[in-house]
Chains A and B, each alone.
Chain A
Amino acid sequence: MKKIRLALNKGEQLRFLSHLDYAQAVERMIRRAEIKMAYSEGFNPHMKISFSSALALGITAAVEYVDMDILEDVPVENIIDRLKRVAPPGLEPLDGHDMPDKVKKLMAICNYAVYEVNGPVIIDGKAATAEEAEAIDWTAVLKEFNEAESIEYEKVTPKKRRMIDVKHFVKEPVTATVKDGRVTLRMAIGIYPEGTMKPGEVWRLGMESYGWPLDESYAIHRKAIMIETDGVLKTPFEV
């Protein structure tokens, strides 16, 4: 048995898959590629694979990592080639590495995600033209949020509500790029044992409390998921 780590994407075609749907799509792709996988013991054996995160319904990702235990002794390139032949649109095998047997669970080490949240620029309740959107001084718009020492925010989940400090989770200054009347906000967010913040929550907080010229129609893309240790960022292939 050996362990390999693969990089896949979650493209536009798969945007609306829940994490479980996405995981099932990956498993079925692996089965179509006829890769001999390790399965758990017991009455209901399941394929031994684990993901770096639970990508929510509605979010696309440039890259998602998955660890798999395989029973074949073949180069990882061979696995990737076989997967590529049976990969559905929007689920592209990108890269892969052999891993030592004992690696920490991806989900336990990945603590830093970079998102791009895109939506129309709204001025006086209606969508801005390309010129109007360009004319906005985004650095100034984002300044108050970016320079705040701490921001109190009430996080509401179906189970409970609690106060968190937004700045504990939002790691770098939020930046903006504008194109065709739409803005893309880049935000880096920490994922910690004590919790995280959703990119959509940052978007709405900016809109409601900091006057960002946006509305509720946004689409989230995760650009990267990484491991941050003492301020140094590494990809899951580099650890």
Chain B
Amino acid sequence: MVHLDPSWLQHVEKPARYMGGEWNSVVKDHSEVDVTICLGFPDVYEVGMSHLGIKILYSIVNERPDFAAERVCAPWHDMEAEMRKRNIPLHSLETKTPVRDFDFLGFTLQYEMSYTNILNMLDLGGIPFYSKDRDLSYPLLIAGGPCAYNMEPIADFFDIVNLGEAEESMIEVMDLYKAEKAAGFPDGKEGFLRKAALIPGTYVPALYEPEYTEAGDFKGMKILAPEAPAVVEKRIIEDMEQVHYPTKPVVPYLDVVHDRAVLELFRGCTRGCRFCQAGMLYRPVRERTPERLVQLAKEIIANTGYNEISLMSLSSADYSKLPELVDMLMEEFKDKQVSVSLPSLRIDAFSIDIAKKVQQVRKSGLTFAPEAGSQRMRDVINKGVSEEDLIAACTNAFKSGWNTVKLYFMMGLPTETDEDVAGIADLAYKVLDLHREITGKRNGKVTVSVSFFVPKSHSPYQWYGQQSVEEIHRKQQYLKTLINNRNISYHYHDGATGYMEAVFARGDRRLAKTLVEAWKLGCKFDGWTEFFSLDRWLEAFKNTGIDPDYYARRDRDFDEPLPWDHLDDTVTKKYLKMEWDRAVKAELTQDCRRLPCNGCNVCPALDTAIIDYKEGGRVEKNTFGFK
């Protein structure tokens, strides 16, 4: 057990990040449980403690008296320096046990730019990076989260990957470990991993070996063990009503990013925005009933003392019973000083009505994501939002007293022209003019925030070569010349981070050595603009003989084997290709929620269906998949 002495700990920034002991944190005696896991978040405490996935797994594992789950986050730079100076290994928050001493060390893969932090945390934990260099005296490295669908750049580091929703598969893996441990691991680590590969939704990278053509292109995976399926299919939880939900989440003392109760309304989103990987990965839509949600909310508030509940989902305004739920929550908590908040708004007047209801305090402005400036471009990405929708939403908002609107856009989308970019400025001016028209005042404020599009695996844009950083910088500057109003503020990020993200979002196993090299050169906290250095990354690529453009910028052939073909979210490639074809023709695809099936294949493949309580629950209709 590690001891952190206050005499030096008091000199690091926010020492409470490392203290643990928060309300609802679970401390178990390791000698009294059979299997231990440390759940790692590869970023600083305030970010990690805001993540719902870790709360869910922490709770579900700790429900089991024979298992213990603890947490660890990336130490901030100053703490890392102290730990290295004092030879303090990376350790858990709960029992201050070195991560090395757990049976499992898990990492959630939320964004590619956190990969160097994973390496840094392993190094701080005294754990070799590569799976092949670790015997069973080290913890098994397990991963999950959206980036697990293209695990390949970091596949060599991990032992086990949970594809999809892990509430069940994680427990199954730990049960297997318990049994194997009791039997003394008769077939060693390899034997354990081979058995784990039989658990549906479990990917064991060591059982697959990538093969390349002479030209150096990815050719396919050679399967090294009979237990390893050719394609690993994701897991989902169909019944959101019954599945365990954390009603006793850890309550951080520090002001973390999302410091409030979180209510997950539903999973999945079938709007079908073509740039959106999550929209494909988390299908189908599965709702909880409002009654269940109110019950969960009551328990969470009673167990935490929070005074705010956030209604979370990929697109919360799409919850079919949102007005009813909001009324029920407001009624339940009316004398308890608990407020309800919506993290994301759909662009329509309805959403504003809901926002008006929940947001008594107008602390912040409203945020909308039209994603693209012109109607043509929005049709290309299947955003399904028109200028009229935005005007209707803003009209309602300005009439209701809001003066600030934030608009999110992307740049670098397929088929984008300067005209589409100029559309962003047009839209911003229209919204500002609308404010003056409605209120007669000149205190309206529009914030335009533009990000650089990163094509992701498992989306219709997975074949698309990303635009160059130079081109994005040119477009950013072009847009800047079009925005000359002190009531419109314009924000954009340096394109280089998006470029690196694009490399790893669609990379293969050859990138592992580049990651290690980048880490050696000092890359970490790359998701933080102030710590990201493109020069260091380019040096890492140079030193390892890899051309980043090969991964980020190359248009891939539609029949080319892709490094993630064996990691299956059950949306077929054929369907994605059809979506690509429709995209370039600016044709829309309807949301399948209440309309006929579009043939993405998820429902038949997983033998499941959309669950929508406005439609009475499980929606029985013919579903199919293009293959």
Contact A21 B19 (CB under 8 A): no
- Which of A13, A27, A47 has most chain B Cβ within 10 Å? A13
Specify the chain B residue showing the minimal Cβ separation from A31.
B305
Which chain B positions have C-beta within 8 A of A47? 337
B356 to chain A, nearest CB (A): 14
Q: Does B190 contact A (CB under 8 A)?
A: no
Q: How far is the CA of A89 from the CA of B337 in the complex (A)?
A: 25
> Residue-by-residue, is A20-63 near B (CB-CB < 8 Å gives 1, otherwise 0)?
11001101111110100001000111010000000001100000
- Which of B7, B255, B301, B302 has most chain A Cβ within 10 Å? B7
Which chain B positions have C-beta within 8 A of A17? 16, 253
Specify the chain A residue showing the minimal Cβ separation from B4.
A16
Q: Does B262 contact A (CB under 8 A)?
A: no
Specify the chain A residue showing the minimal Cβ separation from B252.
A21
| Contacts known (A16-B15, A43-B361, A88-B22); A28 close to B251, Cβ less than 8 A | yes
> Residue-by-residue, is A68-95 near B (CB-CB < 8 Å gives 1, otherwise 0)?
0000000000000000001011100000
Q: Does A96 contact B (CB under 8 A)?
A: no
Q: Does A169 contact B (CB under 8 A)?
A: no
Q: Does A209 contact B (CB under 8 A)?
A: no
| Interface residues in B303-336 (C-beta closer than 8 Å to A) | 303-307, 336
Which chain A positions have C-beta within 8 A of B23? 25, 28-29, 32, 88
Q: Does A219 contact B (CB under 8 A)?
A: yes
Q: How far is the CA of A218 from the CA of B6 in the complex (A)?
A: 8
Q: Does A14 contact B (CB under 8 A)?
A: yes
Q: Does A186 contact B (CB under 8 A)?
A: no
B78 to chain A, nearest CB (A): 14
B95 to chain A, nearest CB (A): 13
A183 to chain B, nearest CB (A): 13
Q: How far is the CA of A25 from the CA of B16 in the complex (A)?
A: 13
Q: How far is the CA of A47 from the CA of B361 in the complex (A)?
A: 16
B19 to chain A, nearest CB (A): 6
Q: How far is the CA of A58 from the CA of B304 in the complex (A)?
A: 25
Q: Does A217 contact B (CB under 8 A)?
A: yes
B50 to chain A, nearest CB (A): 16
Q: Does A15 contact B (CB under 8 A)?
A: yes
> Residue-by-residue, is A208-239 near B (CB-CB < 8 Å gives 1, otherwise 0)?
00000000011100000000000000000000
Specify the chain A residue showing the minimal Cβ separation from B24.
A88
Contact A45 B254 (CB under 8 A): no
Specify the chain A residue showing the minimal Cβ separation from B5.
A217
Q: Does A190 contact B (CB under 8 A)?
A: no
Which chain B positions have C-beta within 8 A of A13? 19, 21
Contact A43 B360 (CB under 8 A): yes
| Chain A interfacial residues counted at CB < 8 A | 33
Specify the chain B residue showing the minimal Cβ separation from A200.
B10
> Residue-by-residue, is B1-21 near A (CB-CB < 8 Å gives 1, otherwise 0)?
000011111100011100101
Specify the chain B residue showing the minimal Cβ separation from A89.
B21
Which chain B positions have C-beta within 8 A of A217? 5, 7-8
Q: Does A199 contact B (CB under 8 A)?
A: no
Which chain B positions have C-beta within 8 A of A218? 7
Q: How far is the CA of A219 from the CA of B15 in the complex (A)?
A: 14
B66 to chain A, nearest CB (A): 24
A192 to chain B, nearest CB (A): 26
Which chain B positions have C-beta within 8 A of A88? 21-23
Specify the chain B residue showing the minimal Cβ separation from A20.
B255
Q: How far is the CA of A217 from the CA of B14 in the complex (A)?
A: 17
| Interface residues in B508-565 (C-beta closer than 8 Å to A) | none
Which chain A positions have C-beta within 8 A of B360? 43
- Could you say which of B5, B10, B337 contacts A39, with CB atoms under 8 Å apart? B337
Contact B305 A29 (CB under 8 A): yes
Which chain A positions have C-beta within 8 A of B10? 15-16, 57-58, 219
Contact A119 B16 (CB under 8 A): no
Contact B337 A15 (CB under 8 A): no
Q: How far is the CA of A218 from the CA of B8 in the complex (A)?
A: 9
Specify the chain B residue showing the minimal Cβ separation from A15.
B6
> Residue-by-residue, is A84-112 near B (CB-CB < 8 Å gives 1, otherwise 0)?
00101110000000000000000000000
Q: How far is the CA of A47 from the CA of B336 in the complex (A)?
A: 11
B256 to chain A, nearest CB (A): 11
Chain B interface residues toward A at CB < 8 A: 5-10, 14-16, 19, 21-23, 251, 253-255, 301-307, 336-337, 360-361, 363
13 other A-B residue contacts (CB within 8 Å) besides A15-B10, A25-B253, A34-B302: A15-B6, A16-B19, A21-B255, A27-B305, A28-B23, A28-B304, A28-B306, A31-B307, A43-B360, A58-B6, A90-B21, A119-B7, A120-B7
**Can you spell out 12 A-B residue pairs with CB atoms less than 8 angstroms apart?**
A17-B16, A20-B255, A21-B253, A25-B23, A27-B305, A32-B302, A39-B337, A45-B337, A57-B15, A88-B21, A219-B7, A219-B10
In the A-B complex, the 10 residue pairs with the closest CB atoms: A28-B305, A217-B7, A31-B305, A16-B15, A32-B305, A13-B21, A16-B16, A88-B23, A58-B10, A219-B6
